[in-house]
């Protein structure tokens, strides 16, 4: 049986960064490199798997328990975030971590420090996989993929392990909010499912943000600065003015728990034109709608001050809070809690300050809470994952399957 570490290292070596500027599905053809690999590996293990034109891998393991139990699915996404480089990943493996700073050797002087990330201290004595400081790692969500594949291999190699129908799904483009846009829930065939896309050990989530993306385009007017008085409209400065209207205390760096935010993720600007891109998040639907309305109000003010057409807003909904879809089936959360307790893990039920494929799947008729995959500091060069956390996640999958088969 392949070790979960070796499997994980193989997966992160494949560049699968999603492309938010693309209109294709998947957004980047290179995502298919890993998805095809996963499909081939499943078939090689004797698990019937398919890869469709949209990049969805679906696989099924028939029941062997002789009971009428619901089919349960496990899902992870293959793409990585566009927030940091995702190619040429060079993982560092820190065995028997001593609790101190970890040099990220690809960038002189860059270190992963417990003083900056206190949760590192709880992994003293474990094996930590980090980046080298030049790219993200890809534990989000290739740790989840490795955990699911390791559980599948265990089931295949241990025919005495009793289970109902098991469904496996791997998706593209989760990181850009399009992970399950064309996912065929009926074809997948699960009654309930779990995404393996959470953070540290014990995380269990069935609430997430309501989410939208907003792009503000500012049309300025450029004239020679020597004769600019009363004529020039500097698009970059107008965009900065717009950004100043958004409440500082509602930025990600000042919020936690159920608090929502406006997050400026990028800007491009010159005197003539500027583009500011945001994501808008809130767990509370009324506050979410209020945030969207306030952004429109700010655009209207800019146009009133500088002239109609100066600012245009393109706002797109991304996903809703899955709580209302999962809560009526709360037993699936309880099973995940028990599965963790069977491994000596204390479940940490908390809202996701983000989203997963499971949020949209829950609204598509497949209730789908989220389970820890073990990683930390997703979407950046400080990303890391403890090996022992991945091993525990894979065992939790097996425990969930056993609980459904009882």
> Which residues are identified as catalytic?
79, 174
DSSP-assigned states of every residue in 325-361: HHGGGTHHHHHHHHHHHTTT---EE--BSS--HHHHH
Q: How far apart are CA 17 and CA 86, in angstroms?
A: 6
Q: Give Cα separations from 90 to 19, 134, 137 (angstroms).
A: 21, 8, 8
β-sheet bridge partners, residue 161: none
Indicate the Cα dihedral angle 241, 246, 251, 254, nearest 10°.
Answer: 110
Residue in 319, 365, 320, 5 with CA at minimum distance from that of residue 183: 365
- Tell me which H or E stretch contains 287: helix 285-306
β-sheet bridge partners, residue 295: none
- Tell me which H or E stretch contains 389: helix 387-405
Token digits of residue 250: 């509602």
Q: How far apart are CA 161 and CA 213, in angstroms?
A: 45
Q: How far apart are CA 403 and CA 400, in angstroms?
A: 5
Q: How far apart are CA 80 and CA 136, in angstroms?
A: 8
Contacts for 46-49 with beta carbons within 8 Å, 24 or more apart?
Answer: 46/156, 47/152, 47/156, 47/168, 49/168
Cis bond before residue 141 (omega within 30° of 0)? yes
E strand map for 192-300 = 192-198, 203-205, 210-219, 261-269, 273-282
């Amino acid at each position: 049986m392949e070790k979960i570490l070796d499997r994980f290292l193989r997966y992160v070596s494949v560049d699968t960064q999603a492309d938010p500027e693309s209109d294709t599905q998947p957004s980047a053809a290179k995502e298919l490199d890993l998805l095809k690999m996963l499909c081939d590996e499943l078939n090689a293990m004797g698990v019937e798997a398919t890869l469709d034109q949209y990049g969805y891998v679906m696989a099924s393991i028939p029941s062997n328990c002789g009971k009428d139990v619901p089919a349960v699915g496990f899902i992870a996404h293959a793409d990585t975030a566009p927030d940091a480089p995702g190619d040429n990943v060079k993982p560092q493996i820190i065995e028997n971590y001593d609790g101190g700073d970890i040099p990220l050797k690809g960038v002189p002087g860059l270190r992963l420090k417990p003083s900056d990330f206190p949760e590192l201290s709880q992994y003293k004595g474990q094996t930590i996989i980090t980046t080298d400081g030049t790219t993200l790692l890809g534990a989000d969500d290739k740790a989840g993929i490795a955990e699911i594949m390791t559980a599948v291999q265990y089931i295949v190699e241990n025919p005495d392990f009793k289970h109902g129908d098991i469904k496996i799904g791997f998706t593209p483009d989760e990181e850009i909010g399009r992970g399950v846009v064309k996912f065929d829930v009926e074809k997948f065939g699960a009654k309930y499912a779990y995404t393996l896309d959470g953070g540290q050990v014990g995380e269990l989530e069935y609430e997430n943000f309501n989410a939208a993306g907003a792009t503000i385009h500012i049309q300025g007017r450029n004239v020679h600065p020597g004769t600019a008085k009363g004529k020039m409209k500097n698009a970059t400065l107008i965009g900065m003015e717009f950004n100043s209207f958004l409440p500082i205390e509602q930025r990600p760096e000042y919020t936690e728990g159920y608090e929502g935010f406006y997050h400026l993720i990028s800007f491009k600007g010159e005197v003539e034109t500027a583009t500011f891109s945001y994501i808008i998040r809130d767990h509370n639907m009324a506050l979410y709608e209020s945030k969207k309305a306030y952004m429109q109000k700010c655009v209207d003010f800019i146009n009133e001050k500088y002239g109609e057409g100066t600012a245009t807003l393109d706002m797109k909904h991304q996903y809703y809070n899955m709580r209302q879809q999962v809560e009526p089936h709360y037993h699936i959360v309880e099973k995940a809690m028990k599965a963790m307790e069977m491994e000596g893990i204390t479940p940490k039920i908390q809202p996701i300050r983000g989203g997963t494929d499971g949020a949209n799947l829950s609204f598509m008729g497949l209730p789908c809470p989220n389970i820890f995959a073990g990683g930390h500091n997703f979407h950046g060069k400080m990303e890391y994952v403890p090996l022992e956390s991945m091993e525990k996640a894979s065992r939790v999958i097996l425990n969930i399957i056993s609980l459904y088969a009882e």
